[in-house]
């Protein structure tokens, strides 16, 4: 539908202006003419725009009128305060009637949209709206509403209803959808790894680990890879629609329909942002739903939340702020209110999930995910402060900081619960070969993972003091140990406490072995594993060389205890006693019997150790080799010397093979089979 043309502007000849005084009048005549024109402008103009129009018309008559000043409405001084804006002059009768006809014509065709038509139709309709609004506003402040004002009110109401519909249609039609496939591809690349993403075959049921072996230091490496959506601000509305949207918003605000404008704008934008959250996988979930959710599903949703909160803030909300600033430029207050109102649902959906996670049960496997959420929220809060203004914006920031604090409390509470689990874990099944306990593997890989969050944990644990640390293992160090603890970071002190719980638990578990030598092997295996995990990661930097030296000292002490318990009795059969003497074959039959008995007892004791300790396991090759060397250095020389002194007494008799069962080389070969975790080859080489 072609809009009727707007009435033309008044032409110069339609205005009556006094002729120019004769030249003889000189400058006095000129001054009078200019003064008269100035008076006309002041009398007719009720706004700055009207004054400018009047000056432009008068200037068309004579160039002298161009000297009339346009500064008829100076801005009030700061001290005087801004008064109410005076109403505009009513438009000419013909102009309003033409505008009314055009607005009613469009109202009669609701199936058609102005902004779907030619640009000329759009311009004509907007001009008609301006005329109708001017007609309405010109009656503001009048003593009584007349028929013209009433008619203008009806026309403006029709125009504003269409403006609402046109605004809604434009915003929906020109909304830019998110690339769901690209976002999900980014989610897969992100794939934040945690306790459930690492490899171990742990059977540590009390903590129910989800794989902590095999690379915890890079547990979050994928999360540090740049996400292409983090720093990309989307055009949430196509740029070509911005001018049309702004023109509608300006007219609705000027007509007094700011609340309707806000309602339409916020409703559309809120729904579109909800769709974006659905694409990102951030669902609307209640606290009960989150608490009842099985860990595998909850873990996946926590991952998506971490990715989603960054994308929402850095891409969606930043883009949303830009749209608000462009479309609603007519009013700073309206712009800020609409931004808060349109994004509030999106923010609350994010915060509700964070709150639900913060109040969930404290289970250790959730800790790294909660830390991911805490860090993501802490990272974007400064950016959100730049987006939200005013009292409503301050309320949003306050809510965000509240959830952040509760997530921090959840982190500390989960760490506390983890310590309690370590102290209370009381499985009674010993590791048959004395190898590394699954609990040790789980805990150390868990702690190595926590180091990735060291800055955050130092901040959250900053209120802890060295006095909170369990000194059961270190109090014997006296002042030096206290000084060491004071030198640690808050996280370092907490790690010392957690490892001390682990070591105390392992000490109790070692007592499940009846064989004291196997207790030592178990302790050495587990302490060495702890030391290696500390030394080969950031744990070593945090805990320092002092801590490592103390544990290596424990390993050496256990090695000495093992040799004493396992081999003292064996070696006792290779020692001379008061009755045995040191003589050879001439020492008599009684002496020979005692020597044979010693060889026999040595063989029995050695065979017993061989049968049991080839089943024992020392996983670390260096420790295993060091133990074998220590045993050889103690056993082989003693056996060789004893064999050299008394071998002839036994070798000269019948059945000497029953007593001299091994050569020194045979013993050496036998010892090489120890601690392999399976029965070694039977290389019982008899003397030929």
CA atoms within 13 A on the CB side of 641: 12
Q: How high is the pLDDT of residue 538?
A: 93
Which residues are 676's β-sheet partners? Answer: 617
CB 33, CB 6: distance < 8 Å: no
Share of the chain above pLDDT 70, in %: 71
pLDDT over 70 (residue 191):
no
pLDDT over 60 (residue 142):
no
Tens digits of per-residue pLDDT, 359-407? 998 888 899 999 999 999 999 999 999 998 777 788 899 999 999 999 9
Q: Classify residue 537 by its DSSP letter.
A: S
Distance separating alpha carbons of residues 258 and 442, to the nearest angstrom: 60
pLDDT over 80 (residue 58):
no
Tokens of 32: 């009078």
> What is the pTM assigned to this prediction?
0.74
pLDDT over 60 (residue 304):
yes
Tokens of 24: 């003889």
Distance separating alpha carbons of residues 159 and 264, to the nearest angstrom: 15
Tens digits of per-residue pLDDT, 607-661? 999 999 999 999 999 999 999 999 999 999 999 999 999 888 876 656 666 788 9
Tokens of 170: 């434009």
Tokens of 317: 């909300």
Q: How high is the pLDDT of residue 578?
A: 53
Distance separating alpha carbons of residues 283 and 277, to the nearest angstrom: 7
Q: Where does 513-661 have alpha helices with state H?
A: 516-535, 538-572, 589-613, 621-651
Q: How high is the pLDDT of residue 605?
A: 95
Q: How high is the pLDDT of residue 576?
A: 82
Q: Where does 390-487 have alpha helices with state H?
A: 390-424, 438-451, 454-460, 478-487
Distance separating alpha carbons of residues 81 and 78, to the nearest angstrom: 6
What one-character-per-residue DSSP string does 152-171 give?
Answer: HHHHHHHHHHHHHHHHHHHH
Q: Which of 273, 410, 276 lies closest to 341 in space, CA to CA?
A: 273
Distance separating alpha carbons of residues 294 and 296, to the nearest angstrom: 6
Name every residue whose Cβ is closer than 8 Å to that of residue 285 and which is 6 or more positions away in sequence: 301, 352, 353, 356
Share of the chain above pLDDT 90, in %: 54
Distance separating alpha carbons of residues 527 and 513, to the nearest angstrom: 17
Q: What is the mean pLDDT of the chain?
A: 79
pLDDT over 90 (residue 267):
yes
Tokens of 361: 């049960």
Tens digits of per-residue pLDDT, 337-361? 999 999 988 999 899 999 999 999 8
CB 440, CB 526: distance < 8 Å: yes
User: Phi and psi dihedrals of 237, rounded to 5?
Assistant: -130, 140
Q: How high is the pLDDT of residue 422?
A: 92
CB 312, CB 232: distance < 8 Å: no
For 360, other C-beta atoms within 10 Å of its C-beta total 17
Q: Classify residue 201 by its DSSP letter.
A: -
First to last CA, the chain: 119
pLDDT over 60 (residue 119):
yes
Q: How high is the pLDDT of residue 232?
A: 59
């Amino acid at each position: 539908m072609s809009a009727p043309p707007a009435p033309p502007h008044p032409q110069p000849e339609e205005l009556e202006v006094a002729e120019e005084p004769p030249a003889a009048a000189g400058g006095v005549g000129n001054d009078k003419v200019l003064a008269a024109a100035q008076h006309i402008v002041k009398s007719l103009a009720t706004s700055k725009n009207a004054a400018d129009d009047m000056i432009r018309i008068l200037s068309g008559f004579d160039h002298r009128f161009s000297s009339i000043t346009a500064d008829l409405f100076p801005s009030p001084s700061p001290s005087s305060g801004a008064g109410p804006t005076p109403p505009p002059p009513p438009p000419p009768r013909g102009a309003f009637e033409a505008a009314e006809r055009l607005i009613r014509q469009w109202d009669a065709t609701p199936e058609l949209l102005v902004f779907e038509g030619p640009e000329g139709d759009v311009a004509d309709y907007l001009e008609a709206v301006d005329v109708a609004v001017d007609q309405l506003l010109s009656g503001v402040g009048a003593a009584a509403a007349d028929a013209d004002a009433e008619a203008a009110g009806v026309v403006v109401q029709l125009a504003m209803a269409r403006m609402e519909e046109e605004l809604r249609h434009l915003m929906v039609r020109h909304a830019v959808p998110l690339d769901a496939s690209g976002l999900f591809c980014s989610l897969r690349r992100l794939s934040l790894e945690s306790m459930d993403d690492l490899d171990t075959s742990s059977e540590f049921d009390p903590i129910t680990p989800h794989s902590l072996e095999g690379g915890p230091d890079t547990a979050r490496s994928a999360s540090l890879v740049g996400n292409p959506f983090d720093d990309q601000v989307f055009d949430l509305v196509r740029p070509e629609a911005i001018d049309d949207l702004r023109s509608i918003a300006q007219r609705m605000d000027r007509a007094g329909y700011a609340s309707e404008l806000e309602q339409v704008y916020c409703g559309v934008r809120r729904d579109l942002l909800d769709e974006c959250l659905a694409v990102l996988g951030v669902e609307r979930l209640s606290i009960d739903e989150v608490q009842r959710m099985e860990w595998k599903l909850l873990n996946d949703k926590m991952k998506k939340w971490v990715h989603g909160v960054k994308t929402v803030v850095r891409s969606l909300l930043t883009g949303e702020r830009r749209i608000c600033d462009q479309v609603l430029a007519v009013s700073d207050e309206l712009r800020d209110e609409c931004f808060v109102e349109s994004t509030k649902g999106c923010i609350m959906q994010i915060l509700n999930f964070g709150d639900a996670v913060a109040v969930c049960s404290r289970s250790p496997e959730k800790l790294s995910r909660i830390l991911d959420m805490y860090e993501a929220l802490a990272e974007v809060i400064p950016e959100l402060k730049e987006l939200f203004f005013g009292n409503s914006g301050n309320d949003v920031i306050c809510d965000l900081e509240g959830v952040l604090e509760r997530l921090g409390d959840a982190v500390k509470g989960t760490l506390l619960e983890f310590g309690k689990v370590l102290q209370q874990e009381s499985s009674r099944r010993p590791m048959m070969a004395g190898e590394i306990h699954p609990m040790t593997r789980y805990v150390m890989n868990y702690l190595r993972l926590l180091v990735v969050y060291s800055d955050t944990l130092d901040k959250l644990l900053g209120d802890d003091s060295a006095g909170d640390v369990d000194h059961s293992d270190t109090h014997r160090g006296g002042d030096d140990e206290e000084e060491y603890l004071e030198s640690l970071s808050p996280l370092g002190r907490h790690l010392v406490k957690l490892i001390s719980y682990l070591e105390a638990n392992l000490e109790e578990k070692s007592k499940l072995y009846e064989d004291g030598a196997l207790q030592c092997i178990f302790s050495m295996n587990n302490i060495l594993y702890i030391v290696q995990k500390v030394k080969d990661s950031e744990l070593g930097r945090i805990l320092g060389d002092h801590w490592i030296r103390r544990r290596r000292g424990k390993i050496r002490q256990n090695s000495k205890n093992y040799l004493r318990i396992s081999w003292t009795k064996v070696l006792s059969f290779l020692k001379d006693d008061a009755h045995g003497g040191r003589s050879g074959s001439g020492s008599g039959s009684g002496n020979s019997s005692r020597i044979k008995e010693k060889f026999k007892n040595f063989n029995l004791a050695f065979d017993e150790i061989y049968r049991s300790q080839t089943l024992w396991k020392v996983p670390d090759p260096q420790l295993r080799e060091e133990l074998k060397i220590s045993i050889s250095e103690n056993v082989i020389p003693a056996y060789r010397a004893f064999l050299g002194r008394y071998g002839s007494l036994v070798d000269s008799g019948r059945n000497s093979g029953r007593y001299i069962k091994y050569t020194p080389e045979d013993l050496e070969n036998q010892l090489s089979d120890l601690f392999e975790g399976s029965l070694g080859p039977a290389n019982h080489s008899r003397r030929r």
